[in-house]
Amino acid sequence: MKAFAIFIQDVNDGQTHAGLTADLGELFQTVRNTGRGGAMTVKIKVTPAVKGGGEVDKITITVDRKLELPKPEAPSDFFWLTDEAEPTRQHPRQHALDLRETKTVDEDGVITFKDVAAR
């Protein structure tokens, strides 16, 4: 029996081997970039080329490649819950601060502060 590496290079005139190599490289790169695991599955199906039973001297080989790339972690967000269990950005038991702009910058880069007492 010839080595598996030689066999897989023969399948589909090397296209299967090239595809597997590309898939493996993509898997390695994605694991490196995401810090999460992935998987690659190779399934080799061997069937008689001619049906009818008896001794077989001709076969068909099909190689199925499956690549499961790791997905980046989904971002999360923070909300408070009201007494009615509604999500809100504001803490439901904390007063909001009335913030306003206190300075302006003109086209020359000169900063002018506004009178904060004036509304």
Give the global pTM. Answer: 0.61
The closest alpha carbon to 72, from 22, 36, 26, 25, belongs to 36
Give the count of beta carbons closer than 10 Å to the beta carbon of residue 48: 14
pLDDT band at 111 (very low <50, low <70, confident <90, very high): confident
Query: CA-CA distance, 66 to 24, in Å (whole number)?
Result: 11
11-53 pLDDT per residue, tens: 999 999 999 999 999 999 999 999 999 999 999 999 998 887 7
118 pLDDT higher than 70: no
Burial of 26 (0-12, 13-18, 19+ CB in 10 A): middle
